[in-house]
Amino acid sequence: MPTSNLDRNLAILGFAVSTAMTVFLWLSIGRLLYVLTGALVAAACLTWLYLRGRASINESMIGVSRLGYSLMALLFLVFLTLSIVIFHLRPHIYIRPL
């Protein structure tokens, strides 16, 4: 899998896996919620395949330096990781977090 088309390859893989899982879950469990979830994932992957050329962002488009762009990306990943850890380590798993 070349890294130059990693987003395209992952979108194709996501579409294929979500379609296969949707069919499997529909035949084995038969709940509409699983089918709708799989259909939404497949639709998101197809939408990304359609829009991927026009949706790319690079640092020249947002007007910040490469260091600023890297710091913003790092901050996003740190906050995402912290929110997942906080959600995972909450004391009461059946109470909605604040």
**pLDDT tens figures, 42-94:** 999 999 888 887 766 665 556 667 787 788 889 999 999 999 888 888 777 77
The answer to whether residues 12 and 48 belong to one domain is yes
By residue range, what is the domain housing residue 73? 59-98
The answer to whether residues 93 and 80 belong to one domain is: yes
**pLDDT exceeds cutoff 80 at 7:** yes
Distance CA 19, CA 27 (A): 12
Three-state secondary structure readout of 4-24: HHHHHHHHHHHHHHHHHHHHH
pLDDT of residue 65: 74
Whether residue 52 is found in the same domain as residue 65: no
The overall pTM is greater than 0.85: no
Cβ atoms of 42 and 18 within 8 Å: the answer is yes
pLDDT, residue 95, reads 72
pLDDT of residue 67: 80
